[in-house]
Structure 1
Amino acid sequence: MDERDVAILTELQRDARLTNRQLAARVGLAPSSTLVRTRALERSGVLAGYHARVDLGRIGRGVQAMIGFQVRPLSRDVINGFKTFALGQPEVLSVYVVAGGDDFLVHVAVPSVEAMHAMVMDRFSSRKEVIGFRTTLLYEHTQNPAVLPADQEP
């Protein structure tokens, strides 16, 4: 990656809806060169996707929580199975495999506390590998709008 690639990544993080022509003008390249570079960043996996940010409260999913799960036995198969199960649930936004007291943190968005209780009790806690869980209700969820520096060495 060179400084032009970094400029493209920076602009797309600010606004992924830019047209190629708008992006080219912002980074000071010809549209054809910008398109070639953007496609190369996509093929290499550096640009992993383009996403719309949805206001969950406006679609009836205003109650969010982070749920910590402990599972046993702690094996690759159990971890992969639980992760696959969790990601298949419509309320689940993200799944994190973590170290510490919990094995997983699962970010969920539901319509109500009652819906969350039903989801946890009926679907998650009934799984044989789940030996414990704790729910942390999120009062507020704010994403960092800052652009991540793309020019740092990994």
Structure 2
Amino acid sequence: MSIPVKLDKIDRKILEILQANAKITNSQLSKEIGLSPAPTLERVKKLEQSGVIHSYHAQLNPSKIGLGVNTFVLVSLTGHNKDIIEIFIEEINKIDEVIECHHITGSGDFILKIITGDIAAYQQLMLERVSAIKVVDNLQSMVILSTFKDSKVMPVPDGILK
């Protein structure tokens, strides 16, 4: 686990603004945080270089591109040794429809978030790709009926100050 980067109030404000609008210009960002453009850009670059800002992405509307079925899948593996876990991770990373994969505690070993166009595509994916991974023992699917919160904005804790 990495050590948290120390952030001051201005860094936290930059992170809050960039999470809300990553397309904001440096000039506008500098106005909103009360610094001139040069030190603002320097702070953003420092946040990027330190790994606090990991990447920038366009968030797509799934329904606008024909992706209408979202599911969570609880996966249990045939065992828990390093080789089995590595085989699973290697194979799951080859499946584009798996948009999240988390190693978890509890009744399963992994939880996946899968997105497909329709139920038929989901069924085919599960039968031909996911359940075909040789180290998969059991799968439990949960279809997402409605989503009421899907925030990509992370709270930046006050406790990590310079």
Shorter-chain TM-score bucket reads over 0.9
Answer yes or no: is 1:143 the counterpart of 2:150: yes
Show the counterpart of 1:108. Answer: 114
C-alpha spacing 1:82/1:144, structure 2 compared with 1 (3 Å): same
After TM superposition, the structure 1 stretch with the greater mean CA deviation from structure 2, 46-55 or 78-87, is 78-87
Q: Deviations over 1:99-139 (max 9, x none)?
A: 11111111011011111111111111122211100100001
- CA distance, structure 2, for counterparts of residue 109 and residue 115 of structure 1: 9
Q: Deviations over 1:14-66 (max 9, x none)?
A: 11110111111111111000110100000000011111111111111110000
The AA in structure 2 aligned to 1:148 is P
Please state how far the C-alpha of 1:153 moved relative to its aligned partner. Answer: 3.2
Query: What is the number of residues matched between the two proteins?
Result: 154
Percent of aligned positions that are identical: 28
Which aligned pairs between 1:1-154 and structure 2 lie closer than 5 A? 1-141=7-147, 142-144=149-151, 148-153=155-160
Structure with greater contact order relative to length (CA < 8 Å, sep ≥ 6)? 2
C-alpha spacing 1:68/1:114, structure 2 compared with 1 (3 Å): same
Alignment TM-score, normalising by the size of structure 1: 0.92
C-alpha spacing 1:152/1:13, structure 2 compared with 1 (3 Å): farther
Specify every segment of 5 or more residues in structure 2 that has no aligned partner in the other structure, as ranges.
Answer: 1-6
Where does structure 1 differ by over 3 angstroms across 4 or more consecutive aligned residues? none
What SS does the aligned partner of 2:23 have? coil
